[in-house]
Amino acid sequence: MKKLNILILLFIIISLFAVMPVSAQGGDDGVSDDEVNAIARDLFCPVCENTPLDVCETQACKQWRELIRLKLSEGQTEAEIKQYFVDNYGARVLDEPPKEGFNLLVYFVPPAIILVGIIVLFRAFKEWQGDDQEEYEDSSEGSIEPKRASADDDYMAQFEEELKKKK
């Protein structure tokens, strides 16, 4: 009976642990993985191109994440940590290049190209519209036949005249 009571007690304790809320694991420093990943997802390790730091599984990226954890535990802000990575590994570690110098091209060239494209298309549509209108205006009054019809008439008249001459 005593053994049964101990078993029941153990079962209750284990059950209590099982229903405890689960949160992202943190180290002894009190910094959770979520906090580390919130910064890591905006960084890219130069060794693993195109893979955000928070999902990269290489040894280098693991070390970087540990460094973020260390700096967070030291009380550094997100901006300070990102600046540390830029100073040490270059601006290419950022997911968005800083808006300065040559990088400005990234921000201005694509919108400029789209703008120019819109202007070109707008003008082209306007010209096509203008051409259609001119064709109708040039055709005979009251007729809805386009200009091609009048050109065909000229050709037919010339063709008939040539036939008459042959006869």
Binding site for other proteins (CB under 8 A): 45-47, 58-60, 63-64, 66-67, 70, 86-90, 92, 105, 109, 112-113, 116, 119-120, 123, 127, 134, 138, 147, 151
Residue 27 or residue 46: which is nearer to other proteins going by CB? 46
CA angle 63, 69, 71 (to 5 degrees): 105
As beta bridge partners, residue 144 has none
Minimum Å gap between C-beta 163 and other proteins is 23
37-68 burial by CB neighbour count: b if 16+ within 10 A, else e?
bebbebbbbeeeeeebbbebeeeebeebbeeb
Minimum Å gap between C-beta 93 and other proteins is 9
Residue 13 or residue 149: which is nearer to other proteins going by CB? 149
Instruction: Please count the residues of the chain.
Output: 167
Minimum Å gap between C-beta 101 and other proteins is 14
